[in-house]
Structures are given as C-alpha cells and as structure tokens.
Structure 1
C-alpha cells in the first residue's frame, strides 16, 4: 500500500487506518547548557485519534504509555480495533540545541510505526516489542518560537509478513511504552538498533578472579576529525571505584569507529546470583582530548557469574547445581491493556521474587526495559524471545523481520547479567499450514527448520556467551521429525497433560522419554498450567471445571516431577498472572486465567502453594477460600469441607474457633483438614514452629448453612443452585454463593430427569461449554445446564417464595474461531438444537412454548422471576413439558419471603 506523507491532511492508509500523530508541546530544557547525553521524557501532553490524521478530527488528550485497545478487548463483540491510529504533539526546541544530535527513542509501539517531522517521513520501524530510535535534528526548526509537528503512525493490523501471526494473547495497538528525546554531542556512542551503545561481557569468572570486556562503536557526525579520550571506571556493589582505564582515539569525520576495552581483572569478585544479586557498574566516557569536556557517557550494570546447562544434571550457577523455578510473564494489566508504567512491571517481578521464584521467562516477546533492569537488581535469571509464535510465513520479508527482531532483542538487552537464554520460536508447528497437502506441508516444515537454523546461527554470532532455546508444544514426533529438537542448545517443552490433552501422570513419562532419546540435550519445561478461575471452587475437582482445587492438584504433580528429575533444568509455570486473550471465552471471557496471580495481581492459592515449596524463610498462609456455603443434615449445626494451609513448616496445627483440629506433618502435598464449619463467622488459625519461634496465620471464613431437608427446624433465606455442575461459584459483586445441584430426594431439593450438558467431544472441554455467554459477567452460572430435565422439586415449608429461573441456550450455529491456544484435538461445536417446552409450577402453567434461543438469543443469559405461594404442604414442583427437543434449566434461585 502506497502512503503519501507530504501533508498531514492527505488520506493515508485507506479505510482501516488509525493514525498516531504526535503533537509535542516541548518546553525549553534547563539542561541545554549541559554537556554529554541528555534524556528527557516525552510521555505527557499527547493527542490521539482512532482515525487518519486531519485538522478536522476530534482529538483525545492522552498521556503515554497508551493503547487504544484497553477496553474493546473485554466486550462481548468478537474482535478488537486493529488499524493505524494517530497521536500528535508540538515540539518547541530551544535554539541552543542547534548543533546537537537529537533523537526520538520509542521503547515500543505495536506493531508498525512511521515517524514524520514537519510533514516529512524521517523513519519507520517494524515490530511491536523492541525499541527503536530516529534522528530528527535535521528536520527540526530551531528558530525562536517555532513549532515543530511530529506525527507517528502506528499500525497493529494483521500482516502476514510480521510475527506474531496468531497467538494466545492480544495484540494491543498503540505507543504503549515510554518515549524520550535524547540529545547528544556530534561525537557519541552509537545508537544503532536502539541499543545502549556499549556491550559488556565477562569472559572469565571464578571465585578468585573475573575479567571484564567492553566493546561498541563511537560515531563522529561532525564535519571535522576529532581526538578524544576514553575513560572507563568500574565501581563495586558498594559504589567504590576499583578500576580505571584511559586511552586516546582519533575519530575521522562522518565515521563510526570500533571501541574495544579490557579492564583490569577484578580480584575476589562478589558473585551475582538470585540470592545475592551483586551489581558492579561500569561507566564509559568519551571526552574531548583538549578541553576534557564530557561528550558522551554510558553506564551499565555488571554481574560477575558463570553458568552452564548440562543434559544430565540440569543448570549450574557459579559452579553449583541450581534448579530454576519461576514463571512466564505477559505485559498487560486489568483495565490498562499493555500500556503500563514501569512501576507495574517492577512490581510483577517483586511478586515473582516474593513467591520464591528465581527465573523469569519473558514471553512471548521482548518487554519493557524496566523488566530486565529489575531482574538484574532483584536477582532473577531470565530468558527472552522474539514473537515467532504458532506459524511462519514463507517470504523473505517475514524472514528478514525475524532476523531484525532477533538482532534488536539481543543488542538492546545484551548488558543484563540476568539474561542467560535467547529464544526465537514458540510452538511454531502448532497451527500447521497446508493440512491435507503432505508434500507441500513437508516444504513448509523444511522452511520452518531453515529459518530456525538461520536464527540459531545469527544468535550465536551476536552473542556466543549465552544459550539458545526453542519452546515446543507437546507433539513430540512432529518436532522430532522436523529436526527442530536438534537445532537449539536447549529444548523447551510447553506441556499440558491433564489439561488440554492426556492425563496429569503423562507429564513425567513425556519428560523421561525425551531424556532417554536425547540424553545429550539440555531440557527445560517452558510452560505448564491449568485454568484457575478464583471464583470457582470444588469439593470434587475435575479437569476443565476451572476450579482452584484442580489447578492446585495439577501444579503439585508437575512441580514434584520437575524437582525429582535433575535433568530438568527449569520449570516455568504458565503464567505469572492472568492476561488478556481476546479470542478466549470460557468462564472468564477474554482472559487466560492460568496465572498464579489474577490479572490485577491478587495472589491465588496456587501462588501460596509455590511460596510454601520455594521459600526458605518460615512461611504459613491459609487458603483464601473464605466465603462458603454448604449443606447440612437435620440435627447438625455444621457442614464439613476441606481447608488448605500452605506452609514450609515441618508440621502445622489448625484451630477452628479456638479448638484444635489436629496437627499435620509435612509431605509433598499441601496441608489439608476437614473442617466442620458453623453458620456465620469461623475463625481459622494455623500455627507452625521454626527455629524455636512460632508463626501463625488467621483467616475468618464466612459460612452459610443450607438445610438438606427444607422442612426441618433450620429455615433458609436463599438457595442458589447451578444445574449440570459439580463446582461452587462465588459472585464477585454480590457475594452470592452458588452450590452444585443434586438429584431430588424426598424432603430435600433437586432435579428429576435429564443429564448435564456436554459438548460432543471431550478432547478439550468436557465441562459444560466454554462459550462466552452474553449479557452477564457471571458466565459460570449459565455455562452448565441440565438437558432433558422433567421436574425440579423443592420440599419447602408453606409460605411465600420468589423463584428465579436462569436460562441460556448453549447450542448455536454461530461459528467459533479455531482457537490458536488449543493444544489438543480440536473441539467440536454442537449445532443449534430446536427446543420448545412449557413450564408449570405446582400444576399451573406459567410459560407456554418456551424457546430460549428464540426468546433471548443463543449464548445469552436471561432469567425469569416468579412469585410462588406454597400451602397445604405441597412444596414447590416445577414441571418442564417438552413439545420439541429437550427442556433445559441452567440455574435456579429460591428466596423465602415469609
């Protein structure tokens, strides 16, 4: 598509274009007179439009970071705004800046960005997850009072030549990271590829001695040769200068000159590790040889550590075996999309560290510079990868974009001691192309392998000091036959046995098989996890119920298998926090909720489980399942349910309302008690001892007792029941607790007839439906149902009651997009069912010809409220009378009025 950049008013990009025009109001710098490099934020005072730039447009005032998809990815409408959008800002430049080199540095804009200054295109960048920098001083007006207009077009439309092509995360559009103006002298360190300008390596490190090597390039953009002095200073973690080196260099005008520096060896270095993240700092300055004026300077952290991966004994750090346990991270947050302040990213890593993690997989793309900076400071080892996800496009443009992304990722993040792995593909054979064309598919797979070999060679050339890795989904034979297991230095497996496919026990067998067949290949588990909706609990957890209990069972088994096998170098839970995936539906539409934290970073019980297994300091916390309901038999005043405690103590004692429920001993599993909860507030206290000191946690559990026999002495106010379900659901807003249904028994309540709704195939979803239910935030109430129900009976006492019947037609002819994250056999949709039925209450017909799909719409929540007067000891009997197809009921509520 040809774009005319001559005038801002011209029609750019066609009908789907959304343009970012950057209108910079730029005050004079107090630092104009400063020497060296000046970096100033340009985050404030932008204007934004979702359409092409024009003076007639209505602009919205925004600050950066900003995305235009923070809200539309969460609505019920499929898809989100993918286009080219506009930001603008005016820039006034102090005349004293004339003669400087001025650059605009973007930490990230997704995914194609074009920069215009005063109507002229001055630069562009492809790739939404690495930074880029554009020199702009040649196009600026430095006259007093002059206003410079800067326009940036950012395009997040699908492009077959730009990875990622598809993925289980949302491709938010916008200038979603920080933007800076950088001013340098005409002589400065190279800013090529938006890299730092110097590259620091530690070729030899031991407990006795460490070497330090620095390379890079100096640029002389002036019109004369210049003689400069290079001064390099190394400070230890306490800030003390421990080494200096000075040298002279002649820089030819208009040239780029290589820089190579070797510092004196450091004796008895303080080693960097997650337990002791000792950071040295090196400062490299270039000074005018005559005036000794600082022309440019760069500082960089230095961490002295050495490491290796071994196929038999796993990872080794500073000469000792070291198991890597942590999580992957996506960069979005509830309500903000991916446009996060640095503090949010830093807090994420503090939470990972507080969990006891020592490793971060930066997935599936390079992230904000603040992420790896925090890893260095906090002590988290890391891998970073480019977004080649699910598939490739067989074009030279796609290949070149991959190469460019890999080079930018490595050079921009080179100086971080936390980084130990560069990766470049994730589940690249998941969405196979040319299905049904075996010969063409062979060519495609060979091209995938060819690209992998190119990126492997490129990575080794750019940085031979670190390891390379590919992450594969669990189709072992497919990757083996493609040769992809042989290319990288480390093989990563994204495994979900017991979730997307197979059973939990299959995970250990898979890893053992790989190790047996590839005994010389280091291996890590790059992903594992199960959906954990914090609103869903279960007393009988099962696959796909999305309950916290199933996820806890899942993580217990996987973590034990990883820890028991020395050859597994690392285990990375998927994911640190829930994240946005617009195409997902399920119990929490548009959210992948496999996170150890919620999308707004509240810890789940899975997070507490990892703390109990990874932390060395004494730890004890009670499960946060603190709003409950349960049935009680006649004559009883309590309901017994399991209660988990997470602790690294040797033993834990649990108390209920001051009374001991006994002591449990440490094992591979979490501590668990059967607790007899009473109605109202239950004070739970857990106690452990360590080192002669007592540690405890206290939590109040609010419990609602529901009588199993409705005509007994115990009266109820309200019962909320999920049909076709075994799970318990807690509404976030109202606090209502929904219990699973039961078959009717005399004197109690329950359904008669029918069976729970199931999809035709259990390959992926075997629990109700995973479709998004419109017009509700409480999808789990409507995603299960009893199909073919004939009656629902409640043997209540005489009185006045209010019934609410909840319906949603779960079958539909609406086509569902093939899910890119489905790692098992593709699920089948159930065609729309024609169903018409009457509903009666105690023999009186209240609804004739009920057709849920026609009345409310398929996959749409609706409820009907009915008042019922019960007398003569009849209770409530709801009849479902089929006329066509099977009657359905999704949920029911009964409230006693008097």
Structure 2
C-alpha cells in the first residue's frame, strides 16, 4: 500500500489537549541501535527467533536522545564515524481522536533522516538542527490491518551523517557534524484540526506606555475540514488573564489572524528582569480541541550607528559567550537537565548575551535564554567551505526559514546569523566571492522578509560585511596574531569600517590544570602592528609566524591574563555594543587532533564536563552581581621558584576590597580598581614557605563578606631532563579509582614544566574512563605541569593492571 508522505514544513509545538491529560510523550526508552547501514528496511523488521536465528545483526539497547558519536568524536586513535545508523522500537499507538493524526516530532536529528513504519517510508528530512515532524497516521492504520500487527507498531529510523559536499555544514567546520537522534523525539496525538505554527508578535508603543500583541496561526488540517472555533488568551507574568478573544473561522487554510491585543503599561523584558507574558491559543472542532502556549516579552532594541547597543532605550553592554551543543560522554545528545545546568552556570558568570554557534539549537536552550535573560544571536550552519550548488543553497534557505519560523516567538533573539567564516574556501574547485555575495544578499533579504523585526549578522567574511545589518570581524588579539594589549585599538579601527560592530569570538585555548610562573613569556617574540586577525594556517600548531596559539604554553595562567585585559578594556569603550568570548565550554572538533586533549577545541571557560577553569572566575569578577572571590590556582597543587622569591597571588573578585592571608599572616587589604591590571588591583607579592602553604582571602561588598582559600606545595628544587614516570592511585570512591602519573628527573624531582604526551591503558576486568574530551578523561593527553590524571572503573574487584607510556621513557604499570 502506498502511503502519502506527511513531512510537515514546520514542527508542531508541544500540545496541551483538553480532552485527554497526556497527548504528547517523549520517546526516550525502548530503543535499539545499530551503528552501520542495513541492506534495506526489511532487515530492521524481519522476524528473528526459532528457525531464523541469523536474520538480524546485533543491535544495542539505547535511550534517546542518543548521538552516534558519543565517544568516538574524541577517540585519539580513530576518525569519528560518519555514515548511516539505525534506530528501531515498537510503539503502542492509541490515538484517542476520531480522525486524529499521529505524529512524530523530531527536535533535531543528524544529518539526513528517514522514518519507516514497518516497511513503509513515511518521511525524509535533510538538516541536523531544525525541528520537523512526520505524520505516521496512515501508515500505522495500514499496518494495523496486516497479519504482522500484534499490538505494537514497528518504527525504524535511519540517520546519516556521511560526508556530503552539497550539504551544510561543511566538514571543514571546526566542530563535529554529528549523527543520531541527538535531541528529543516526541509522539503526539493531535485532533483532526490542530495548530501547526503559532507566531506571537509583540510591539512596544508610546515609549513603553502601551503595547500590542498580534497572534497568527497556521493550522494542520490534512483532512481539509472547514470551520473551527479559535480562542486566544493573554496572561500577565503572574498568570492572570488580561485579554481574551474568541472567533469562528470558516476557512482553515493559510495564516489566520487569531487575535490582536492591547496592553497598557507592559512590563518590559530585560536581561536583569526577564519578564514573560503567556499567550494561549485553542482551536476547537466538534468535540476535540488543542491548546498551544507561547511565552512572549515586550522589549525594544537598537544598534546605534558606530555606537552602543540599546535595550528598551538604555545602553546595555552585551557581555557574551558562545555555545556548542556538545558534552562529555554524550556529544550532542544533551539532556534537558544538562542544558539547564550549563545555562545557569553561564548566568551565574554574568552572561547577558550568547551567540549560538553555528546552527539552530534546541528549543530548550532558547526557552532558557528567554527565562534567564540572555540576548541571542542564532545562526544557520553555512560555515566555511565556500558555496555549493542548487541543492546546497536550497538547504541553506530552508534552514534559515525553519529557524526563523520555529524560534520567532523568543524575545531573547535579536539577530539571525547568516553565516560564519564564509571567506574560507576548500569544498569546491570554484571560490567565487561575487557568487557568495549574491547568495548572502538572498539570505539577508529572506530573513527580513520572514522577520522584519530582527537584524542579520555574519562573522568573518569581510567581502560581505556591507550586506548584513551587524558585522563581526576576526579579532584574536594575543592568540592567533598580535598581543592582547592591541585589542582596543584594533576594535576601534574595525568599528569605524561598518555601521554596526559587534565583536564575537575572542580568547584562546587553555589546557585545564596547566599553570605557569611566567605566563606572558611567549609575547616577547610576537610581532605587533601586523593585525590581530586569524589568517590561513594560524590555527595550526606548526609553521608560520610566531604566535601565542603555536608558541605559547596553553596555560590557564596566560589565558586569565588575556581575558582580564580584554574585560578591563571593554569597560572603557563607551561605543562598544558588546562582545562574545569564544567559547563557554570546550567542545570536540575533527580538525584539531594535535591539541593537548586530542580532537578538542580547548577555548572554553569550563571543560567539556562543565568543570570550571580558572578563567571562569575572571569573567565572574567583572560581570557577576552576586559577591564572589576566587584565589587563582585551585587546580595548581604545586607552585615553584627560588626560596625567598616573591610570587604574585591574584584574587579575582567583584568585591570592593579584599584582605589576603598566607599561612595565617595578613598581607593587608587592597581596593578593587578595574583599570589596575592584573586582577583589578587585587594582587599581592608573597614569599612562600618551602613545602606546604595555605592562602586565604576575605572580601567585602557592602555588608556581604565572602571567603576563599587554597593549599599547595611550593617547590624550590630545580629539575633536570625528564627521566622517569611514576603511577599511583590518588583516590578511591567505590569501584572508581583516580590514577595520577608524574614525570620526574633522575633525582626524583617533579618536572613542573613537562608537557610530554602520555598514553594510559588498562588490562583486566575494569574499564578506563576515557574518550570524554577532558584533561582527566582522555587516554592520550599532554601533561599539565608534569602530571596527568584519569579514572578507572575497577568493576567487581577483578584483576586490573593500569599502564602509562610516554615516548622515550620506560613504561610504568600499577596493579589495582
């Protein structure tokens, strides 16, 4: 039987249906997974068992969301898998509506997806980041009439992230193009007429004294029914109903103006007070109805020409970062709890702006931006490689259309990003700047046609900077080129070249746990005055001009200084719209196999598992409002120098003053002054005692008092050439053991500047906790100050022998 393909143009949003308590469910459990292709759909559904034992390959039980590349994306020894994968399950379908529709709602699956009910393909989709739905109603009903139906309906899903030059994003991108059903998949029962798309357009009037709310619906009505009742309600932030409209609609096709409300004295949405109103629309037909609920907010924004950003008429310095959908142990398959934890960590750092790079992200993230108060730049994944043909361009337009339609209602969004690094060739023999310009103009016009209320932007494509509303050039002062003290002058020069300047992507890599007593040493060899942009080859760790990214030590110490300088300067640039540091969390990338944690971009302020690096607290000291104080060096167990030599102790704090104590002795109070670099003046020169030291700070902000303390060893012995390694068990928690390797010279002194590669392995009944993409979760990793750690799950206490090898040194083992 031929089944009509019901691939809807835009995702059905979450439905709250009045005739039944639960009409939508996440399909998280009961799935089987195969990381390879099949000969055809029959191999996913043919019976197995007696008489047919080899009818199927071996499937793995998994739960959703699930990423094909949860571990191999950061496996140091293999290329990550790019190819087909299959998921299958058995669903009990009981749609309560006469004539209703049964729908699978994908919040995101990569990168090409086919959906089957038994052996019938019901939908296909290309694009790994936008939402989409598959109507499986007819195929389910047809299968229920067959002898194979035994109470459950087999659903099989094929995903494919194979390399494809005519698909975006490019595989030259500095992030993995993941495969799998890595966002939530929902089963929806909808009545015969339901809401396919709801757009809420708030508009502030009379300088904020009043506002209007226009509500437009598009209905899903495959049966071509006529006549329905639409009731629309507006509720204030407390949930109180303040407006309601009911109308009878005969024609259910196209856009329907459901209601226009007027609001007196609307409470504005702001990053400090993200006030949200609620709009509910209910469509009723016969005895069935469904309700969709949308949050909205009232705000105005403006990018002043050659000047700052205004939110609700007042300057707001955009204090931003970036996000990739990527996490240790799951890759793109982050749960809602993981996403919430990450975004709250950003907000606690003081973030009020985020660029979502480089693709449409989960609806959960946008909801959190609305409720936490973060201004958003969201973009499509036209990233590097050049410009493909008609199929490529059609996908880009489709993804832009879907992103705008699906995230239209979020008050946090002010910018639709059209591309990233589109001046980067490589995917095609032809690299034609004029064709790229022409297509960029098409996307710009399409964006304004779909949503005139927001701006367009791109980053790093100078020959297109006049096309978009807001432009960000490449400025990496102190990392890829130049030194960080050139940041302000470079930014002023670039700001004057465009009408609206917004600097996104700045910072640098740091290997978590690596520290330095002379972090700025590499700067003395860096040429100044030659630009601070990133150019071809600058990201490489080999060849080319001297640059910190290649010649620096990748220490947390250096990155803290770089961040500190940038943040200090941003407070002195009254014309600055804002910036977004790249990137909040370390993330995996296939193009950086030689980084200290292989296949990881380590520019994050936190590691891939959300462990905070020291630089997190530098930002917090400038941006956070909650009183805080943090002594630099929590992850530095050993400092070093000459006996009696004064060493700097830095405290990052947003408090007015702080007092430092070393080994119980006060070293006095100091006032915080942002202009006093480094650490805003909260630094002390101290001669440490040889051996153990304890440092404590007490900081005050008004009546609030906060404290922090650290303990460390001070090593005065100098070391020679690395000669041997030691491996020992540092901690045990149940079956989990933490192992630490150290590199020593021939006298047994730890080589605190050693950055050798080490390779952990395990033989026995347990397993190594690796392929996490963290400094303590990779079996191949560069040492940080002559040491490295990893965890081992020893299992049920069987035989386990751990080993560490390093080129040129004798391998060491440890019987666990």
- Does the CA contact (< 8 Å) of 2:217 and 2:258 recur in 1? no
Q: Which residue of 2 aligns with 1:578?
A: 586
Which residue matches 2:217? 216
Give the C-alpha shift of residue 524 in structure 1.
Answer: 0.6
Is 1:604 the counterpart of 2:645? The answer is no
Offset at residue 776 of structure 1 (A): 5.5
Structural mapping, 1:153-552, within 5 Å: 153-165=158-170, 166-190=172-196, 197-205=197-205, 206-222=207-223, 224-226=225-227, 228-251=228-251, 256-288=253-285, 293-431=287-425, 441=431, 444-472=432-460, 479-480=461-462, 482=463, 484-518=464-498, 521-541=499-519, 542=522, 543=548, 544-552=552-560
Of 614, 622, 630, which residue of structure 1 is paired with 2:631?
Answer: 622
Determine the C-alpha separation between the residues in 1 that align with 2:92 and 2:414: 43
Give the C-alpha shift of residue 490 in structure 1.
0.3
Partner of 1:840: none
TM-score w.r.t. length of structure 1: 0.72
TM-score (norm 2): 0.79
Cα deviation for residue 679 of structure 1 reads 4.7
- Residues 478, 485 of structure 2: 8 Å contact kept: yes
Report the CA distance shift for 1:33/1:558 in structure 2 as closer, same or farther (over 3 A). closer
Which of the residues 662, 666, 676 maps onto 2:668? 662
Corresponding residue SS for 1:113: strand
In the TM superposition, what whole-angstrom CA distance separates every residue of 1:485-517 from its partner, at most 9, and x where no partner exists?
A: 111100023421221122223332322222233
5+ long unaligned stretches in structure 1? 7-30, 191-196, 473-478, 709-718, 724-729, 758-771, 785-803, 809-851, 853-861, 867-898
Q: Is the 8 A contact 1:52 1:84 kept in 2?
A: yes
Q: CA deviation at 1:383?
A: 1.0
Pick closer, same or farther for the CA change 1:642–1:122 going to 2, 3 Å: same
Preserved contact between residue 211 and residue 265 of structure 1 (Cα < 8 Å): yes
Deviations along 1:86-116, one digit per CA (max 9) or x if unpaired, are 1101122237555211111111111000111
Cα distance in 1 for residues equivalent to 2:743 and 2:684:
23
| Distance in 2, Cα, partners of 1:539 & 1:91 | 60
- SS at 2:122 equivalent: strand
Report how far residue 696 of structure 1 moved: 3.0
Structure 2 unmatched runs, 5+: 4-15, 44-54, 523-547, 724-729, 732-736, 757-774, 788-802
Report SS of the residue matched to 1:350. Answer: helix
Whether the 8 Å CA contact 1:681–1:700 is kept in 2: the answer is: no
Contact 1:619 1:647 in 2 (8 A): yes
**Residue 339 of structure 2 aligns to a residue in which SS?**
helix
Going from structure 1 to structure 2, the CA distance change for 1:505 and 1:700 (only over 3 Å counts) comes to closer
**CA-to-partner distance for each residue in 1:738-797, whole Å, 9 max, x for gaps?**
69x9xx9xx99999xxx999xxxxxxxxxxxxxx9x99634247999xxxxxxxxxxxxx
Cα distance change, pair 233–37 in 1 and its aligned pair in 2 (3 A): farther
Q: Distance in 2 between matches of 1:664 and 1:241?
A: 53
Q: In 2 relative to 1, CA 445–735 (structure 1 residues): closer, same or farther, beyond 3 Å? A: same
Matching residue within 676, 687, 690 for 2:701: 690
Query: 2:76 touches 2:780 (CA, 8 Å); kept in 1?
Result: no
Decide whether the 8 Å contact of 2:236 with 2:277 is kept in 1: yes
User: Are the counterparts in 2 of residues 687 and 694 from structure 1 also a CA contact under 8 Å?
Assistant: no
Q: 2:659 matched to 1:674?
A: no
Aligned 1:706-785 pairs, distance under 5 A: 706-708=716-718, 734=739, 777-780=780-783
- In 1, distance between residues paired with 2:470 and 2:686? 46
- Counterpart residue number, 1:24: none
Aligned length: 695
Structure 1 residues 257 and 36, CA gap change in structure 2 (3 angstroms): farther
The alignment partner of 2:341 has SS state of helix
Pick 1 or 2: higher relative contact order, CA cutoff 8 A, min separation 6.
2
Per the alignment, in what secondary structure is the counterpart of residue 114 of structure 1?
strand
**1:580 Cα deviation after fit:** 1.1
Query: Could you tell me how far apart the structure 1 residues matched to 2:102 and 2:208 are?
Result: 44
In the alignment, structure 1 residue 863 sits paired with structure 2 residue 778: no
Counterparts of 1:363 and 1:137, CA distance in 2: 36
Q: Which residue of 1 aligns with 2:528?
A: none
Q: Distance in 1 between matches of 2:413 and 2:664?
A: 49
The 1-side partners of 2:779 and 2:138 are apart by: 55
Q: Work out whether residues 502 and 577 of structure 2, in 8 Å CA contact, stay in contact via their aligned partners in 1.
A: yes
Equivalent residue, structure 2, for 1:846: none
Whole-Å separation in 1 of the counterparts to 2:70 and 2:602: 18
CA contact (8 A) 1:782 1:807 kept: no
Pairwise CA distance, 1:606: 0.9
What does residue 27 of structure 2 align with?
42
Task: Tell me, yes or no, if the aligned pair for 1:327 and 1:357 is still in contact at 8 Å.
Answer: yes
* Deviation of 1:281 (Å): 0.2
* Residues 342 and 368 in structure 1, CA contact (< 8 A), matched pair in contact too: no
Tell me how far 1:667 sits from its aligned partner. 2.6
Cα deviation, residue 563, structure 1? 3.1
Query: Could you say what the CA RMSD is over the residues aligned between the two structures, in angstroms?
Result: 3.3
Q: For residue 202 of structure 1, give the secondary structure of its aligned residue in structure 2.
A: strand
